[in-house]
Amino acid sequence: MKITFDWLKDHLKTNLKEKNLLEQLTNIGLEVESVESLSSDNQLFKVAKIIKTEKHPNADRLKVCDVNVGEKELKKVVCGATNASEGLITIYAPPGAIIPKTNTKLEIAKIRGVTSYGMLCSESELNLSDESDGITELSKKYEKNIGKSYFSKSKSNLIDLSITPNRPDCLGVKGIARDLAASGFGRLIASKEKKIKLKSKQTLKVKINKEKGQGCSAFGSCLIKNVKNTESPQWLKDKLVSVGQKPISAIVDITNYVMLDINRPLHAYDADKIEKGIIVRNSKSGEEFTALDNKIYKLEKGMCVISDNKGVLGLGGIIGGTRSGTEFDTKNILLESAYFDPRSIRNTAKKLNLDTDAKFRFERGIDPLSIETGLNKAASLIQEICGGEVSKIDIQKIQSHKTKIINFDVNSFENIVGFKISEKEIQRILTDLGFIIKKEKNSLMLIVPSWRPDISQQIDIIEELVRISGYDKIKTIDPIKDRSKSTLTQTQRLFHFLQRAIASKGYLETITWSFTDQSYNNHFREACKEIKIVNPISSELGVLRNSIFSNLIMYMSKNLDRGFKDLSIFEIGPVFTGSNPGEQKTVVCGLSAGKKSRLSWIDKERNIDLFDAKRDVMQTLSEAGYNSDHFFIDSKTPNYYHPGKSGRIFLDNSKDKVAAYFGEIHPNILKKIDIKTENLIGFEIFLENLKLSRKTLKDQKSKFAVSDFQKSERDFAFVVNKDVEAQELISVISSVNPNLISNIKVFDVYEGENIPDNQKSIAISITIQSSEKTLNDKDLEKINNSIIESVENKTGAKIRS
């Protein structure tokens, strides 16, 4: 929104200077984007008179003009305009002047061998109008001003404001003045409407069709007959030019002036070109019309149009059409002032890629009660400048404006903002902003002004009060630096702890999208519903992920293709089970490929296996404070794991919720994806299923002391029923003597020859070591017998011979 201080003073009485204005505008939330000087460049353009013209010696279409610019010597100017003739009063631009339309700086130049000192300007080049045929022709009254600047010297600069979308009232100079007056910058000047002599009723019938999706709820109009459309007076031209607008004709300029002045867009139709009245309706699919920008627009069904019996006259609230546009010979006009639905305006403008000043305002919300005010102001100016007979105003409505009322608790201001202003000051500010106040017992009943669609609740009133009274009154309080208390919740701390714990085991963290490729996701979603994205960023990322594996395996494959080996990557983030809020869970997911100890000269290299994933998961959970002695493990896993080389972990025997899965990714998936690895091992830890540990989450150091005494390793093979899990045997053995048994590892599970059909053999390696002495044969024999006896009694197993 561009304004000048001079224009602002039409609505604001103040003794303060422009430099104070710039500071105050920003203070009340109307950010000043830039300030440009209006007078420095424009003062170079002078009123001049052509004294003599001669044909250019080297060009048939050019003339060499002797021009009086108010100096002792005449200026030689080469000009190609056909209307350049002796005695013509026009506008001269000297070397150094910048032409507004092209933003080019003039220099002394030779044109076909003749030196030209400046140029004679057309109205189009000066942004005075669209007239580009010939140079500007000024009336004889300008002869006394030869040598003087054509443009009035402005004391103001051009101020460009960044108006936020919630403040449509400040898209008019009066709205900005109202805010400034409320902040104490001056006094708002009361509007004085001139009385218009109304001759008769408005005879051109207007109808708003009541139909679904109608974008117009009120249409005001008045007919003005016998006008004489002419050039705008200098004061009106100066107003428009000062904010970068082009003067066109008096009628068009007046509608633009009213729009900029009070934020009331208007439109003027040539009434003689309207066939049997106005109909406001929804467009039909395929309808076309030529707009005032001389482009043909093909309309979709349901766009708000202004039409007559012949067809579309214009798009409501956006742009008019050429068929009913006003010209200099227009005799009768219909002046329109309507209210259009912001959503309808936005949808239509977006589909047709249209952007106009009216659209910019209507899509943000115009004052619905300003229809009559706008018509009165414009009709008065038209009658004053162009003459004519004004009819009575006709307003058609299909919907009435509903007044918003807010009950405001005065004490709530201090509670929320932190400083206090008196109730009297609160009432003054709100009254100056246009609120009507009725005092209740413990509150104020506020009637919200119709030009403030952004205000709907008590907090909006508080925002207005603090904005006008000054944000600088809010005290700056440093936060309390209390290092004794954590700023994170226990769940957040667990999240970050697991992140560090997995990384410490050699996994590289990845961060991928929460959406993924459908072809990858289908391998891991099991019974979950596929959640498609309506407007994906690419065709390869069209669904929300049901498992982090879908992204990890994709990027694992890309890295293996680039020649990387022995990779371990992980991600912690959300997976989605549905499209509704809350239908998601946080998972730590890891993936490994390649070999262990490939480059080691101590350990023999081997393929990574499920026991590596199991170890990493169990160690991570133990480090987080969960007791590994209570873990329960079985082999029931989702179908994307290898059915015989995977497992799931519960935190205890209750099997309440699965804490984690681990295992080898199913070979069929690897074939379909065509990934360059023989094996792929993964795991998933579900944060929502972990009961928060009572222990504090810290990066725990190892609690295992290293014994100085010799260790002994014993292997046992037990024959058990097939439904008995190896974990059951481990749990029994670990409870025999925790002080001596330091490590238990399953190294073989066998089914086949010499083993009954319903049974299997589980081979276990046990490390026995004391921290107090070296164990002798008698000690070892005793603990061996205890292990065998406990396993046989508690699981029904038999030692394999």
* pLDDT attached to residue 701: 46
Domain 2-38+155-188 CATH assignment equals 3.40.50.720: no
Q: What is the pTM of this model?
A: 0.62
What phi and psi, each to the nearest 5 degrees, are found at residue 266?
-130, 165
Residue-wise DSSP of 320-359:
EBGGG---TT---EEEEEEEE-HHHHHHHHHHHT---HHH
Residue 36 half-sphere exposure toward CB, CA atoms < 13 A: 12
Task: State which CATH number among 3.30.1360.120, 3.50.40.10, 1.10.287.1080, 3.90.1300.10 fits the domain covering 206-397.
Answer: 3.50.40.10
Distances (CA, A) of 289 to 112, 286, 304, 712: 46, 10, 13, 95
CATH fold of 712-799 reads: Alpha-Beta Plaits (3.30.70)
DSSP 8-state assignment for residue 573: E
Architecture of domain 405-468: 2-Layer Sandwich (3.30)
* pLDDT attached to residue 477: 83
Angle at which helices 777-795 and 726-734 pack, to 10 degrees?
A: 130
- Judged by phi (left if over 0) then psi (alpha if -120 to 50, else beta), residue 767 lies in beta
- In angstroms, the CA 393 to CA 256 distance is 20
- In angstroms, the CA 62 to CA 700 distance is 91
Taking 3-state DSSP, the helix, strand and coil percentages for the chain, each rounded to the nearest 5, stand at: 25, 25, 45
| Helix, strand, or coil (residue 417) | helix
Shortest CA distance to 268 belongs to which of 126, 375, 141?
375
* pLDDT attached to residue 655: 83
Domain 40-145 CATH assignment equals 1.10.1200.10: no
Structural element, H or E, at residue 319: strand 319-320
Domain map of the chain by residue range?
A: 2-38+155-188, 40-145, 206-397, 405-468, 490-689, 712-799
In contact, 229 and 330? CB cutoff 8 Å = yes
Question: Does this chain's domain 2-38+155-188 share its CATH topology with 405-468?
Answer: yes
Q: Which CATH class is domain 490-689?
A: alpha beta
Split the chain (801 residues) into runs of 10 and give each run's mean pLDDT: 91 90 91 77 86 92 93 92 92 89 88 92 81 86 88 75 92 94 92 74 90 93 93 88 86 95 95 92 93 92 93 93 92 95 94 92 94 93 92 92 92 89 92 92 90 93 93 84 76 92 94 93 90 88 94 93 90 92 93 82 82 93 87 92 93 88 94 88 94 58 65 90 86 87 85 86 90 89 91 89 71
